Structure 1
Amino acid sequence: MSTLQSQTALGLLGRDFLGLMDYSPEEIRYLIDLAIELKSKNKAGEVYQPLKGKTLGMIFEKSSTRTRVSFEVGMYQLGGHAMFLSRNDLQIGRGETIHDTAQTLSRYLDGIMIRTFAHKTVIDLARYATVPVINGLTDFAHPCQALADYMTVLEHKGKLEGLKIAYIGDGNNMVHSLMIGAAKLGMHMAVASPEGYMPDQEIQASSREYAAASGGSLLVTTDPKEAIADADVIYTDVWASMGFEEEQKVREKAFANYQVNEELTAYAKKDYVFLHCLPAHRGEEVSAGVIDGPNSIIFDEAENRLHAQKAIMAALMS
């Protein structure tokens, strides 16, 4: 049975995709395997359109390059149509409730993707919508990116279980999703962040519980060298995420010793792979020599947003 044919057995049809915490290790790995299969079909020129005649509404309260383009192209490749909706296009921007917006859009659409600030907005939208809701990013989580990240690691390393991933930088939405994913997939994750910028304590606790069940582990430290030691995968993100730009100067001082550069990566395994969710600020969180170097797979990672999100939409909406 192919990956495509086995989705019914997992019961993913009609589900929301709000975060990796809501998905079992088997379901996460299924979506990764499905993404790889859909990518293979695409590269071979094989047409696969399980969403023909279906429409995805895409609500953007935060701007985007990769999220918008990858969802639009992905929906097109799956045979469906994607509709861009900015805050200014919706009555929600003028005070309509999430309840009324969700109920109304559910009468027109087959799925909703939202990229917004507050995580509660996504939760409330999913609570009242009667079609699948996909979290395209909130200030708390970025599950679509994390799924694409682990897909990329699997392609390059041939496995996930037992690998060590080191994240250096801000304890933000990106690291939250990476921590949950690593813990459920049996990986060893180490996070290095300055005091005051650590990942959420509840996410840390949940990740340790999942890691105990999967054979993985989690280390959270303020020491980048400790975190990156013998890492198979190195990950970083901007120091000031979208919505925190006014803190840029303060954060530059706090993160001065957390740049991923040639000196720091020397502590990792020689065949490490480097990931960054982009956009990147060369010379800040990462040196040009690392992000543009031979260990960097950032554009494979960026491409895989398309395939990972196609897997999510196909599994939930077809």
Structure 2
Amino acid sequence: MTNHFQNRSWLKEIDYTPKEMEYLIDFAAHLKALKHAHIPHPYLQGKNIALLFEKTSTRTRSAFTVASIDLGAHPEFLGKNDIQFGKKESTADTAKVLGRMFDGIEYRGFAQQTVEDLAKYSGVPVWNGLTDEWHPTQMIADFLTLKEQFGHLKGLTLTYLGDGRSNMGNSLLVTAAMLGVNIHIGAPKSLWPAQNVIDIAQKYADAAGSEVLLTEDAKTAANGADALYTDVWISMGEKIDVAARIIALKPYQINADLVAATGKADTIIMHCLPAYHDHQTEVGKQLGEEFGMDALEITDDVFNSDKSVVFDEAENRMHAIKAIMAATLGDLFIPDSLFD
């Protein structure tokens, strides 16, 4: 039996080819259909999965846990108080120990180097649940959501508004370009992705025949968008001047005017969550009252509109993660010839 993906890690999007990404998106759709039809798919029966979380999470932890169990594996959660990379034990030593006990490792935290070292030294597949640079499991979920809505990916236009130099900005820019999706980033120039990330995206876009557009004008970015996407304006653990950030990003809030600026009637609304679309959270209330805003990165009417697919997108985290784990650890028949 052959499996093109067997024992490979999932650390960042550019480690995979566009064809491989497309396969994982379609495989996630297949696993979602099985789940909804209550058809068992225990491809990882008897496996043990370590879930390492330096950063807290709702969707990533829930998705990896349920995906592991659905696949027949046992997930073991290790939080920031259980693992201390570089404090009491080196990442390399931790990786070597975990690799002898677990069949696969998920890591969600800060440094990309940590997840790269886990993969280098553990000897088992390692999956990046988020680092400061990349968010690759989110990408399979996001582009699965787009494909569900439109039936295809190539030729669509995705607009991301907000902090473009975040892990989400980086990942969406590069992944869209890889998959032939036109990608628009609307952000202040100081918050654009790093030039090397833009260069990577442009290279893929040139090969796929798609467009990369970075602009400081929110309405220019929104024009022609099939999907408007945003994320929180301040990333977890980020130490910045909050007032300066909010003032800088206020023009990029997704609201009814910006939706109208797409010029399209069927534009969908995406957000990787959590979202400060009202004052129903402590942070949303505090910042909203301080800056005189009913919502931050997205208004409540847009977030809860019939064009919003944010909860489909959230569910798809689980199906995407399941596809990645099953493909890389599941002894499946996925021949190399599919990717020639």
Length-normalised TM-score, structure 2: 0.89
Rounded Cα–Cα distance in structure 1 between residues aligned with 2:63 and 2:117: 25
Q: For residue 196 of structure 2, what is the amino acid of its counterpart?
A: E
Q: Deviations over 1:260-294 (max 9, x none)?
A: 10011101111011100000011100011111111
Alpha-carbon shift at residue 126 of structure 1 (Å): 1.3
Contact 1:165 1:190 in 2 (8 A): yes
Output the amino acid matched with 1:180. Answer: V
Matches of 2:205 and 2:242 in 1, distance apart?
Answer: 33
Q: How does 1:70-89 map to 2 (within 5 A)?
A: 70-89=63-82
Q: What is the identity, as a one-letter code, of the residue corresponding to 1:198?
A: W
Q: Which residue of 2 aligns with 1:194?
A: 188
Q: 1:258 deviation in Å?
A: 1.0
Q: Which runs of 5 or more structure 2 residues have no equivalent in the other structure?
A: 278-294, 331-340
Query: How many pairs align?
Result: 311
After alignment, is 238-247 or 282-291 more displaced?
A: 238-247
Match of 1:92 in 2: 85
Contact 1:142-1:177 at 8 Å conserved across structures: yes
Match among 196, 215, 218 for residue 221 of structure 1: 215
Deviation at 1:57, TM superposition (A): 0.3
Structure 2 CA distance, aligned partners of 1:90 and 1:195?
A: 37
SS state at 1:166 partner: strand
Q: Is the 8 A contact 2:48 2:75 kept in 1?
A: yes
Counterpart CA distance in 2 for 1:195 and 1:185 is: 25
Identity over aligned residues, as a percent? Answer: 45
Q: How far is the alpha carbon of 1:12 from its aligned partner?
A: 0.5
Name the CA distance, whole Å, in 1 between partners of 2:21 and 2:325. Answer: 14
Aligned twin of 2:272: 277
Counterpart residue number, 2:257: 263
Once superposed, what is the RMSD of the aligned Cα atoms? 1.2
SS in 2 for 1:72: helix
- Answer yes or no: is 1:298 the counterpart of 2:310: yes
**Distance across 2 between alignment mates of 1:219 and 1:92:** 38
Confirm or deny: 8 A CA contact 1:240 1:247 kept in the other structure: no
CA distance in 2, matches of 1:197, 1:95: 35
Quick one: which amino acid aligns to residue 49 of structure 1? P
* Cα 1:165/1:53, change in 2 over 3 Å: same
Shift of residue 88, structure 1, vs aligned partner: 1.5
Q: Which runs of 4+ in 1 moved over 4 A?
A: none
Q: What TM-score, normalized by structure 1, do the two folds share?
A: 0.95
In the TM superposition, what whole-angstrom CA distance separates every residue of 1:183-205 from its partner, at most 9, and x where no partner exists? 11111000011121111211100
Q: Distance in 2 between matches of 1:248 and 1:76?
A: 40
Write out per-residue CA displacement over residues 106-153 of structure 1, whole angstroms, 9 at most, x where no aligned residue: 000010000011111111211112000100000111011111000001
Q: Say which SS state the counterpart of residue 307 (structure 2) adopts.
A: coil
